[in-house]
C-alpha cells in the first residue's frame, strides 16, 4: 500500500489535518471578505449570517424587515414555500442553504390586498459567474421560486384556479450585475390569467440605499400552466 495513504489513515494525523485546513479556510474566507470590501446584507451580522433563520418571524422582526427593505406595510409573512414539495428532501434551496450559498431559505411575504408576493434572499460568496458577481442562473432560480410561491398564494386567494402549476416559460432581462454577499428583493404580481395559463410579472432588485433608491437587477415574466388532470403533479 502507498505510504501516503497509510499516513492519512492515521487518526491523529487525519484529525489534525482537518482542523488545520478548517482554520486556514476560515482565515482565507475572512481575509477575502475584507479584501473584497463587501458588507453583509442589512439586518444580519457576522455571527448570524449563516445561522438558521427562524421559521416564523415575530411581528417586531417582520416590521423591521419591511422597514429595512422598503417593502409595503401590509405584508404578512408566509412559510408556505417551505412545504411546497410535500416534505421531499431533494429541494434545491435546501442544498443551497446547506452549502452556505444562501442564508436560510429566505423571507417570503404576501400582500393580500394587492395580490403580490415579495421575498428577501441573502446571497453567499460562492455564487458567482464572473468574479464577485452572482451567476445569472442563481438569479433565475430565485425568480422562478418566488413565482411558484406567488402562484401558490394566488390559488389560495382564489385569483387563479386550484391545481398544480409549472413554469413553461421564464423570460429574464438582466439589467445590472448583482454583487455576491448581498441581499436581493424579488416581487411578483399577476399580469394576466386565461384558463390554465397565468402570466406573472417579476422584478429582482436591491434594498434601498440611503436616498431610498433601489437598483433593478432583473425584470422577468413567467408563464405558469396548470396541466390537465392525470398528466403530472407539482407545486
- Domain ranges in the chain are 57-85+95-225
Given a cut of 60, whether residue 15 has pLDDT beyond it is no
What CATH number does the domain located at 57-85+95-225 have?
A: 3.10.129.10
Question: What is the pLDDT at residue 105?
Answer: 75
Question: What is the pLDDT at residue 14?
Answer: 46
Chain centroid, CA 65 distance in Å? 15
Question: What is the pLDDT at residue 7?
Answer: 36
Given a cut of 60, whether residue 226 has pLDDT beyond it is yes
* CA gap 205, 36 in Å, rounded: 21
Cα radius of gyration rounded to whole Å, the chain = 21
The larger pLDDT score, comparing residue 215 to residue 233, is at 215
Are 41 and 33 in contact by the 8 Å Cβ rule? The answer is no
pLDDT tens string 97-130: 888 888 877 889 999 899 999 999 999 999 999 9
pTM: 0.72
pLDDT (mean) for 31-36: 40
Question: What is the pLDDT at residue 8?
Answer: 38
Question: What is the pLDDT at residue 48?
Answer: 38
Averaged pLDDT score across all residues of the chain:
76
Task: Tell me which H or E stretch contains 47.
Answer: none
The larger pLDDT score, comparing residue 38 to residue 204, is at 204
Task: Tell me which H or E stretch contains 197.
Answer: strand 197-205
pLDDT tens string 62-83: 888 888 899 998 898 876 555 4
Are 140 and 201 in contact by the 8 Å Cβ rule? The answer is no
Given a cut of 90, whether residue 27 has pLDDT beyond it is no
Amino acid at each position: 500500500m502507498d505510504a501516503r495513504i497509510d499516513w492519512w489513515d492515521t487518526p491523529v494525523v487525519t484529525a489534525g489535518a482537518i482542523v488545520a485546513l478548517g482554520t486556514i479556510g476560515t482565515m482565507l474566507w475572512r481575509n477575502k471578505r475584507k479584501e473584497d470590501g463587501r458588507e453583509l446584507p442589512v439586518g444580519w451580522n457576522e455571527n448570524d449570517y449563516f445561522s438558521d433563520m427562524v421559521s416564523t418571524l415575530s411581528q417586531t422582526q417582520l416590521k423591521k424587515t419591511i422597514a429595512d427593505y422598503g417593502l409595503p406595510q401590509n405584508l404578512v409573512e408566509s412559510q408556505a414555500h417551505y412545504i411546497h414539495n410535500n416534505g421531499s428532501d431533494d429541494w434545491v434551496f435546501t442544498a443551497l442553504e446547506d452549502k452556505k450559498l444562501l442564508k436560510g431559505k429566505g423571507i417570503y411575504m404576501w400582500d393580500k390586498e394587492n395580490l403580490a408576493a415579495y421575498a428577501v434572499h441573502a446571497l453567499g460568496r460562492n455564487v458567482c459567474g464572473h468574479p464577485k458577481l452572482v451567476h445569472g442562473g442563481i438569479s433565475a432560480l430565485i425568480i422562478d421560486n418566488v413565482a411558484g410561491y406567488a402562484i401558490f398564494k394566488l390559488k389560495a386567494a382564489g385569483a387563479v384556479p386550484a391545481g398544480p402549476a409549472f413554469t413553461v416559460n421564464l423570460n429574464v432581462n438582466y439589467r445590472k450585475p448583482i454583487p455576491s454577499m448581498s441581499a436581493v428583493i424579488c416581487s411578483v404580481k399577476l399580469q394576466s390569467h386565461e384558463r390554465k395559463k397565468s402570466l406573472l410579472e417579476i422584478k429582482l432588485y436591491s434594498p434601498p440605499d440611503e436616498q431610498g433608491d433601489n437598483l433593478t437587477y432583473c425584470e422577468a415574466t413567467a408563464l405558469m400552466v396548470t396541466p390537465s388532470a392525470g398528466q403530472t403533479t407539482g407545486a
